[in-house]
Structure 1
Amino acid sequence: MTRLAARALLAVVFWPSLFFFWFLGPFVFFLLSTTSSEVCPRLETRAEFLAADNGALPMLVLQNLLYAVPIICLLLWTRLLPDNTRTGRVVICIKLFAVAAVLGALWEYGSSLVCDGYGQPFFSPAWRMTSYLPIANLAVNLPLYVLVFSLGRAFSMREDETADDAIHHDENAL
């Protein structure tokens, strides 16, 4: 397989996964989450509470694995086209992704602690602090999205044809 074909294959995986997993994924996982208001009254015993709470763990692992697909594509692109500047940016993406994954997992697991196992709301001081995690996660995810999008665009463009040449080529074709 040629480098161009490998880059094209990575682009075919990268762009849909970026769109579906990073932009639409949070809505899907929110709809699938078990943190609805009907859960608390149904949890009568501590065992039921712990079973429901720990049932969220496989979904959190699956979610982070799916979210890692665009980062893996960036890593593979870096292997195909080594460039020190882009490699440094990919490392920044990996670090931001790790922080975002931890913050997201803490918030989602914490939000599954809606009640204390006896049907009573769980409003400890720790719970009140986790309510700010989505704001911190958003502050980490916005630069991550911009950086990953720009890197994906740079990696998926052909090097022998710059963006200006492509615009002029398209204008001449018309």
Structure 2
Amino acid sequence: MRHDLTARALIAVVFWPSLFFFWFLGPFVLFLLSTTSSEVCPRLETRAEFLAAANGTLPMLILQTLIYAVPVVCLVLWNRLSPKPARAKHVVTSIKLFAVAALIGAIWDYGSSLTCDGYGQPFFSTAWRMTSYLPIVSLLINLPLYVLVFSLGRAYSTRDDITEDGVVHSSQDNP
């Protein structure tokens, strides 16, 4: 019992900062790093140069997805330590929403690199230029994901032996 509580606390120490810094602040920083800079855009003149610049963002996109996965991995670990069927269904839903959000985010970042923040020439199909609408779709997926992950994190990081009035019940109190 004591080891489970310690492990859950350690996961909470990783979960809450990663949720705040990676999910709430990280998108702004990583989006700026993953797109081709405006200084480079006017110098890109051929389709091959645009593709090379966009493909250069792929390592950053992979790293970004791995970093964003930390809170979801924490939920999976919490669920393994303290399995509850109702929460397990929500964790699976979180994983699915995360996968869709990560895919849409990667397409958006890659597509915005191809269009070079609006400075690019029309080397690519309109489908890639349509990626500018993906932030709206991403927002519609990420809002329920953020709420679900936050509520699951709160439920997992709260001790089960504390009642609503703040009284701690030890396992010896229960016959």
Per the TM superposition, whether the score is higher than 0.5 is yes
Give the % identical residues.
74
Alignment of 1:1-174 (within 5 A): 2-114=3-115, 120-122=121-123, 124-162=125-163, 164-166=164-166
Residue 41 of structure 1, CA deviation: 1.3
The 3-state SS of whatever aligns with 2:76 is helix
What are the superposed Cα offsets for residues 7-50 of structure 1, whole Å, 9 maximum, x if unpaired?
00000000000000000101111232333333321123444322
| Structure 2 unaligned spans of 5+ | 169-175
In the alignment, the residues of structure 1 paired with residue 132 and residue 124 of structure 2 have an alpha-carbon distance, to the nearest angstrom, of 11
Residue 89 of structure 1, CA deviation: 0.2
Paired amino acid for 2:19: L
Residue 129 of structure 1, CA deviation: 2.4
TM-score by length of structure 2 reads 0.86
Q: Which runs of 4+ in 1 moved over 6 A?
A: none
- Per the alignment, do residues 130 and 34 of structure 1 end up closer, same or farther by CA in structure 2, a change over 3 Å counting? closer
In the alignment, the residues of structure 2 paired with residue 36 and residue 153 of structure 1 have an alpha-carbon distance, to the nearest angstrom, of 39
In the alignment, the residues of structure 1 paired with residue 97 and residue 123 of structure 2 have an alpha-carbon distance, to the nearest angstrom, of 30
In the alignment, the residues of structure 1 paired with residue 123 and residue 47 of structure 2 have an alpha-carbon distance, to the nearest angstrom, of 13
- Per the alignment, do residues 104 and 86 of structure 1 end up closer, same or farther by CA in structure 2, a change over 3 Å counting? same
In the alignment, the residues of structure 2 paired with residue 128 and residue 32 of structure 1 have an alpha-carbon distance, to the nearest angstrom, of 20
Kept after mapping to 2: 8 A contact 1:100/1:137: yes
In the alignment, the residues of structure 2 paired with residue 84 and residue 155 of structure 1 have an alpha-carbon distance, to the nearest angstrom, of 13
In the alignment, the residues of structure 1 paired with residue 100 and residue 8 of structure 2 have an alpha-carbon distance, to the nearest angstrom, of 28
The 3-state SS of whatever aligns with 1:165 is coil
| Structure 1 unaligned spans of 5+ | 170-174
Computed over aligned residues only, the root mean square deviation of the Cα atoms, in angstroms, reads: 1.9
Kept after mapping to 1: 8 A contact 2:44/2:50: yes
Paired amino acid for 1:7: R
Kept after mapping to 2: 8 A contact 1:107/1:130: yes
Kept after mapping to 1: 8 A contact 2:111/2:129: no
TM-score by length of structure 1 reads 0.87
Residue 121 of structure 1, CA deviation: 4.6
Question: Aligned residue pairs: how many?
Answer: 164
Paired amino acid for 2:148: L
